[in-house]
Amino acid sequence: MKVALVGATGMVGQVMLQVLEERNFPLTKLLLVASERSVGKKIPYKEKEVEVISMEEALNHKPKYAFFSAGGDTSLEWAPKFAAMGTVVIDNSSAWRMDPTKKLVVPEINAKSIEPEDRIIANPNCSTIQLVMALAPLHKKFKVKRVVVSTYQSITGTGVKAVEQLENEYEGKKGDMVYPYPIHRNALPHCDVFEENGYTKEEMKLIRETKKILSDDSIAVTATAVRIPVVGGHSESVNVQFENDFDLQSVRRELHNFPGIQLQDNPDVNLYPMPIYAEGKNEVFVGRLRKDDSQPNTLNMWIVADNLRKGAATNAIQIAEYLLKKEDLEKNWKKIL
Residues classed as catalytic: 126, 234
List residues bridging with 5 in a β-sheet.
32, 67
Please spell the DSSP secondary structure of 6-26, one letter per residue.
ETTTSHHHHHHHHHHHHTT--
Q: In the structure, how many helices (H) and strands (E) does the chain have?
A: 10, 14
Pairwise CA distance, residues 282 & 187, whole Å: 26
Query: Which of 113, 141, 138, 125 has its CA nearest to residue 215?
Result: 113
Query: Which of 234, 232, 274 has its CA nearest to residue 133?
Result: 234
Element (H or E) spanning 106, and its range? Answer: none
Q: 3-state class of 119 per DSSP?
A: coil
Angle, helix 201-213 to helix 126-142, in steps of 10 degrees: 40
SS3 content of the chain, % helix, strand, coil (to 5): 40, 25, 35
Tell me, rounded to whole angstroms, the distance of Cα 146 from its chain centroid: 22
